[in-house]
C-alpha cells in the first residue's frame, strides 16, 4: 500500500481501548486482518464472482451469483397496491403496500423455533394463516392483489414466480423444501385453506428488496446489502456477462449469495480456531463460511468462545466460567452492540451472565467485542469493494458514483459498524464514491417494488409496440399514397 493509504489504514483500523492485560492480544491477533489481507480477500472474491457467472463453472461455484430476473431499478414513477410477505429472520411479516403513497400496513408474526426446524408444510400453512388473518383484519379478502414475496434464502430463480430453494441458511431447516419451488408451496398452502386468492407473485431475495426500496428514493441505488442474521448482497450486472442467461443487452440484478464465499476452503488461511468451532456446531456445517465470520447469527457465539478460552486460561473472571457463559448461544450478538456502546452496559451484561468481573475484565470483553465486530465490518467492506470495483470496470469508468441500499440489525444497531465499514470501503475502492442508504421500510416494500417495476416495463413496452404499430400504419399509408 502507498504511504498515504498506510496512514489512512492505521486510522481506519485503530481501536479505542487501552488494555492493561497485554497477554490477551495473542488471542485477538488472528482476527485482526491487515488492509493487505483485505485486498487479498477482495481479489479472491473477484475471481469467485466470475466463477459464479460462468456458464460451465457456476454449478460448482461457492458464490452462486443467482440471476433474479429483475432487469431495472425503480425510476420513481411506480404505482400500485400490493401485498408483500417477508420471510428470512426470526419474524415473518405481512404487508399491504401502496407504493406512491409510501403507505403500508404491517403485521408481524413470530416463527417459533420448532417451526424453523419442522416440516415445510407446517411453515407454509403458518404463512398462509398469517396472510389470511391479515387480509381479514384489513378487509382485503375480496381483492386479488399482486404479491411480492421476500424470501431471504438462496434460490435458483427460473422465472420471477418460480424459485427453487437451494438450501436453508440462518437456523432454518424445514424438511421437504430444498429443491422445491417456493411459490408453488405457498400457493398450495393458500389453496389448502381455500378462503382467499392472491394475484401474480414476484419472488425476491431480501438484498434485491432492499435495493429496490432504496432505489425508489435514490435512482442511483444499484446494490443491495444485508448485514443482519445473515449476510449477502446483490448488484446490477451487465447481461452479457451472465453467461447462463440468453441475451446481450441491458442489465440484470444478480443475487451474489456472498455468504457462501469460502465454502471451497479459499478462506481457510484467515479462519480462526473459533470460526472453525462455530461452523462445526452450526446446523449447516461446511457451508456459508463467509456468513459465519460476519453475520448476527454467529458473532455472539464467536465472542463467547473467545471469552471461554481466555477464562479457561485464567485471563478473565478469575478463571470462573459461569453457567451462562458456558452455554452455546447464550451470548447474544446484540450484547456486542450494547457492550461496545458503553462500559456501564458491559458491566450490566457481565453481571447478568453471572460472571465475577473486575474493571479490567470489562475492558477486555469490550476489546474482544470490538475486534470481532470490526473484523466483520472489514470483511463486508472487502466484499462490497469487490462489487463496486466490478461495476466500475464493467462500465469502463475512471470513477464510479453509486448508492448502496443497506439493511440488517448488525449494520443498523451496532454503534460503530457502519462507520468502520464505510471507511474501509473507501480505502479498498478509492475510485468509487459510495452513498449508503439505510432501507427505511424493510425489504417487504422492495418486493412490491419489483412487481411495480415489472408492470412499468411491461406498460412501456406495450406503449412502444403500439407506437411502432402506429408508425407502421403511417408508413403503410404513405406507401399506399405513393403507389
Q: If you count them, how many residues does the chain have?
A: 483
Query: Exposed (0-12), middle (13-18) or buried (19+): which is 394, by Cβ within 10 Å?
Result: middle
Nearer to ligand BGC, 155 or 448 (CB): 155
User: Quick check: 61 binds ligand BGC (CB under 6 A)?
Assistant: no
User: What cell was used for 278?
Assistant: 462455530
Q: Exposure string (b/e) for 156-171, b if CB count within 10 Å is 16 or more?
A: ebeebbbbbbbbbbbb
> Of the ranges 28-36, 139-147, 150-158, 191-199, which one interacts with ligand BGC (CB under 6 A)?
150-158
Helix 35-53 vs helix 3-12: crossing angle, to nearest 10: 90
Query: Exposed (0-12), middle (13-18) or buried (19+): which is 295, by Cβ within 10 Å?
Result: buried
The phi, psi pair for 126, rounded to 5°, reads: -65, -45
User: Quick check: 226 binds ligand BGC (CB under 6 A)?
Assistant: yes
Tell me which of 42, 152, 282, 445 binds ligand BGC, using CB under 6 A.
152
Minimum CB distance to ligand BGC, residue 464 (Å): 34
Are residues 421 and 384 in contact, defined by beta-carbon separation less than 8 angstroms?
A: yes
Contacting residues for 476 by C-beta, under 8 A, at least 6 apart: none
Of residues 242 through 261, those in contact with ligand BGC by CB under 6 A are 257, 259
> Of the ranges 96-104, 203-211, 238-246, 322-330, which one interacts with ligand BGC (CB under 6 A)?
203-211
The phi, psi pair for 73, rounded to 5°, reads: -95, 165
Name the catalytic one among 48, 206, 279, 361: 206
The binding track of 93-132 with respect to ligand BGC, each residue x by CB under 6 A or -, is: ----------------------------------------
Judged by CB under 6 A, the number of residues near ligand BGC is: 17
CA max distance for the chain = 102
Minimum CB distance to ligand BGC, residue 162 (Å): 17
The binding track of 270-309 with respect to ligand BGC, each residue x by CB under 6 A or -, is: ---------------------x------------------
> Of the ranges 205-213, 332-340, 431-439, 471-479, which one interacts with ligand BGC (CB under 6 A)?
205-213
Nearer to ligand BGC, 156 or 218 (CB): 156
Are residues 232 and 256 in contact, defined by beta-carbon separation less than 8 angstroms?
A: yes
Whether 170 is a known active-site residue: answer yes
3-class secondary-structure state, position 156: strand
User: Quick check: 391 binds ligand BGC (CB under 6 A)?
Assistant: no
> Of the ranges 51-59, 226-234, 311-319, 447-455, which one interacts with ligand BGC (CB under 6 A)?
226-234
Whether 471 is a known active-site residue: answer no
Minimum CB distance to ligand BGC, residue 377 (Å): 16
Are residues 89 and 227 in contact, defined by beta-carbon separation less than 8 angstroms?
A: no
Interface residue list for ligand BGC (CB under 6 A): 88, 152-154, 169-170, 205-207, 226, 228, 230-232, 257, 259, 291
Amino acid at each position: 500500500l502507498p504511504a498515504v493509504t498506510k496512514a489512512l489504514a492505521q486510522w481506519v483500523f485503530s481501536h479505542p481501548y487501552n488494555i492493561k492485560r497485554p497477554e490477551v492480544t495473542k488471542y485477538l491477533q488472528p482476527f485482526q486482518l491487515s488492509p493487505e489481507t483485505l485486498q487479498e480477500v477482495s481479489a479472491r472474491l473477484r475471481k469467485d464472482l466470475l466463477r459464479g457467472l460462468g456458464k460451465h463453472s457456476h454449478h460448482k461455484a461457492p458464490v452462486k451469483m443467482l440471476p433474479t430476473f429483475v432487469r431495472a431499478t425503480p425510476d420513481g414513477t411506480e404505482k400500485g397496491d400490493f401485498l408483500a410477505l417477508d420471510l428470512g429472520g426470526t419474524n415473518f411479516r405481512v404487508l399491504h403496500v401502496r407504493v406512491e403513497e409510501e403507505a403500508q400496513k404491517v403485521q408481524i408474526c413470530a416463527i417459533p423455533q420448532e417451526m424453523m426446524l419442522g416440516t415445510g408444510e407446517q411453515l407454509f400453512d403458518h404463512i398462509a394463516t398469517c396472510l389470511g388473518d391479515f387480509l381479514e383484519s384489513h378487509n382485503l379478502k375480496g381483492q386479488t392483489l399482486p404479491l411480492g414475496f421476500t424470501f431471504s434464502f438462496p434460490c435458483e430463480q427460473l422465472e420471477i414466480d418460480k424459485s427453487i430453494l437451494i438450501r436453508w441458511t440462518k437456523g432454518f431447516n424445514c424438511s421437504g423444501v430444498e429443491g422445491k419451488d417456493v411459490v408453488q408451496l405457498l400457493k398450495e398452502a393458500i389453496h389448502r385453506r381455500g378462503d382467499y386468492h392472491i394475484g401474480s407473485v414476484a419472488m425476491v431475495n431480501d438484498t434485491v428488496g432492499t435495493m429496490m426500496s432504496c432505489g425508489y428514493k435514490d435512482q442511483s441505488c444499484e446494490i443491495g446489502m444485508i448485514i443482519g442474521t445473515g449476510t449477502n448482497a446483490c448488484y446490477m450486472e451487465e447481461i452479457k456477462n451472465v453467461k447462463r442467461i440468453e441475451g446481450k443487452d441491458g442489465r440484470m440484478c444478480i443475487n451474489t449469495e456472498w455468504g457462501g464465499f469460502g465454502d471451497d476452503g479459499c478462506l481457510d488461511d484467515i479462519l480462526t480456531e473459533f470460526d472453525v468451532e462455530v461452523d462445526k456446531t452450526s446446523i449447516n456445517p461446511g457451508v456459508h463460511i463467509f456468513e459465519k465470520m460476519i453475520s448476527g447469527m454467529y458473532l455472539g457465539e464467536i465472542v463467547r468462545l473467545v471469552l471461554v478460552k481466555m477464562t479457561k486460561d485464567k485471563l478473565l473472571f478469575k478463571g470462573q466460567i459461569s453457567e451462562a457463559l458456558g452455554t452455546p448461544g447464550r451470548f447474544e450478538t446484540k450484547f456486542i452492540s450494547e457492550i461496545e456502546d458503553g462500559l456501564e452496559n458491559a458491566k450490566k451484561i457481565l453481571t447478568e451472565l453471572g460472571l465475577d468481573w473486575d474493571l479490567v475484565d470489562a475492558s477486555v470483553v469490550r476489546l474482544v467485542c470490538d475486534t470481532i465486530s470490526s473484523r466483520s465490518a472489514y470483511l463486508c467492506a472487502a466484499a462490497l469493494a469487490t462489487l463496486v470495483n466490478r461495476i466500475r470496470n464493467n462500465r469502463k469508468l475512471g470513477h464510479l458514483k453509486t448508492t448502496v441500499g443497506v439493511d440488517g440489525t448488525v449494520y443498523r444497531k451496532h454503534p460503530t459498524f457502519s462507520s468502520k465499514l464505510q471507511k474501509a470501503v473507501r480505502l479498498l475502492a478509492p475510485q468509487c464514491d459510495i452513498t449508503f442508504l439505510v432501507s427505511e421500510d424493510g425489504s417487504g416494500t422492495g418486493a412490491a417494488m419489483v412487481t411495480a417495476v415489472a408492470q412499468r416495463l411491461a406498460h412501456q413496452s406495450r406503449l412502444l409496440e403500439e407506437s411502432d404499430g402506429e408508425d407502421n400504419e403511417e408508413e403503410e399509408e404513405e406507401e399506399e399514397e405513393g403507389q
